[in-house]
Amino acid sequence: MGMIVLALIIILLYDPFSPGPAAVDAEWVVDPDAKLGPTATSIPIVVNEMECASGRSATGRIEVEIAYGPDEVGIEVGVRPLGGDQNCPSNPNTPYIIELSEPLGDRSIEGERPLTG
């Protein structure tokens, strides 16, 4: 019985089933070398994490939300922070490919947050 109680306390305190910290806003732009046209279903972007990450890239931690409208494709980009104590040197830019569920068409891409670093 004691081991079960201990296991429950550990689960409640550390929640190993949690997906981790929520993503926070990141700076991002469409890759300047991208060749996008009406049939494009992927958008290469460059992301820079604004949270302290000890100079590590955001690879594997980028999250994207896409809203499709008649005249624009709205994109929100965030990065799940590493958590714990992190140093705050500048973070490297991280390339990422956004996959669209429908072609871009003649719509504009909205939501960019220009890179400041």
- Residue 54 scores a pLDDT above 70: yes
The pLDDT value given to residue 30: 97
pTM confidence score: 0.79
Q: What's the whole-number mean pLDDT along residues 61-65?
A: 96
pLDDT, averaged across the chain: 86
Q: What's the whole-number mean pLDDT along residues 87-109?
A: 94
Greater pLDDT, 8 or 112? 112
- Residue 69 scores a pLDDT above 90: yes
pLDDT tens, residue by residue, 14-30: 444 445 678 889 999 99
Give the helix/strand (H/E) hosting 49: strand 42-49
- Cβ contacts of 1 within 8 Å, gap of 6 or more: none
Q: What's the whole-number mean pLDDT along residues 48-65?
A: 93
- Cβ contacts of 95 within 8 Å, gap of 6 or more: 31, 44, 45, 46, 47
